[in-house]
Amino acid sequence: MHTIKFSLEHIYFYYGKYMALSDISMTILDRQITALIGPSGCGKSTFLRCLNRMNDTIPGARLEGRVLLDNQDIYAPGVDVVNLRRRVGMVFQRPNPFPQSVFDNVAFGPRVLGLTRNKDELYWLVEQSLRGAALWDEVKDNLKQDALSLSLGQQQRLCIARAIAVSPEVILMDEPCSALDPIATLEIEELMRQLKEQYCIVIVTHNMQQAARVSDWTGFFWLGKLVEFDETQSVFTRPSQKLTEDYITGRAG
């Protein structure tokens, strides 16, 4: 049995007066991949950013309801948001490596957070993170190279290495393959399957085939509502809602 990592209870989310999410309740299991699908502007990315309070930086944004991580409300007063974002890492749509070396990109978080005591520990952690992101063999001979000189697919795997270097529990991925070619996309998908052995993964994707290939659970969003949430195979083969079926078969959206 997989333990519950996130429990969301009656989430409403507003940008000013605009309601972007309406009464969403669901659970997200640890060491599983949960995919969020639906048309553009339906609230998927807003929902994803609720899970590590990335929306906090937007003026006028507010959340109602409860978001529980390991049974603790992450929006409760006094929550350490920096620590929350260490526990719940984020990989964005376009690879965003820092304009530094490959090594310094991965070492950035551990240095800031003081996770290692000396250079040897830091090197070991960087190597483990790059191995975890299936990038080590491609960069080990030149860790000083500029991260921006890597291919887009390599840059995205570097961003994943940077995320796992601070020992998160959850990895959020906001359309991590949308800027990549098909081969790089399959590499990232294979990496996700490996990473779920250790992490809870939540992915937003426009690519329904990708959701069907990599995820264990799928949530279908439509106009700020969660229309359907179930095991991926059920959503794609036996959806309980007609709107889900219409979207998956291309008749809606």
In the numeric block, the tokens 């997989």 are attached to 2
Task: pLDDT band for 251, please (50, 70, 90 cuts).
Answer: confident
pTM for this structure?
0.94
What one-letter code names the amino acid at 9?
E
Rounded percentage of the chain residues whose pLDDT exceeds 70: 100
The secondary element (H helix, E strand) that includes residue 109 is: helix 102-113
Name the CA dihedral angle for 201, 160, 195, 141, rounded to a multiple of 10 degrees: 180
Q: What integer pLDDT is reported at residue 29 of this predicted model?
A: 98
C-alpha 161/C-alpha 212 separation (Å) is 25
Q: What integer pLDDT is reported at residue 30 of this predicted model?
A: 98
Q: What integer pLDDT is reported at residue 252 of this predicted model?
A: 79
State the average pLDDT over residues 15-38: 97
Strands 170-174, 88-91: pairing kind: parallel
Calculate the alpha carbon distances from 12 to 7, 17, 88 in Å.
14, 12, 21
Q: What integer pLDDT is reported at residue 160 of this predicted model?
A: 96
Residues in the chain: 253
Question: For 114-164, how does the pLDDT look when each residue is reduced to its tens digit (9 = 90+)?
Answer: 989 999 999 999 999 999 999 999 999 999 999 999 999 999 999 999 999
CB 91 within 8 Å of CB 170: no
Where b means 16+ CB within 10 Å and e means fewer, 66-83 reads ebbbeeeebbeeeeeeee
DSSP assignments along 58-80, one per residue: STTEEEEEEEEETTEETTSTT--
Q: What integer pLDDT is reported at residue 91 of this predicted model?
A: 95
State the average pLDDT over residues 84-110: 95
- At residue 14, does pLDDT exceed 90? yes
Calculate the alpha carbon distances from 237 to 195, 246, 247 in Å.
26, 12, 13
- At residue 190, does pLDDT exceed 80? yes
Q: What integer pLDDT is reported at residue 1 of this predicted model?
A: 80
Mean pLDDT over all residues of the chain? 95
| Count of beta carbons in the 10 Å neighbourhood of residue 142 | 12
State the average pLDDT over residues 182-193: 94
State the average pLDDT over residues 87-94: 94
Question: For 36-73, how does the pLDDT look when each residue is reduced to its tens digit (9 = 90+)?
Answer: 999 999 999 999 999 999 999 999 999 999 999 999 99
Q: What integer pLDDT is reported at residue 89 of this predicted model?
A: 96
- At residue 179, does pLDDT exceed 90? no
CATH number, domain 4-248, options 3.40.50.150, 3.30.470.20, 3.40.50.300, 3.50.50.60: 3.40.50.300
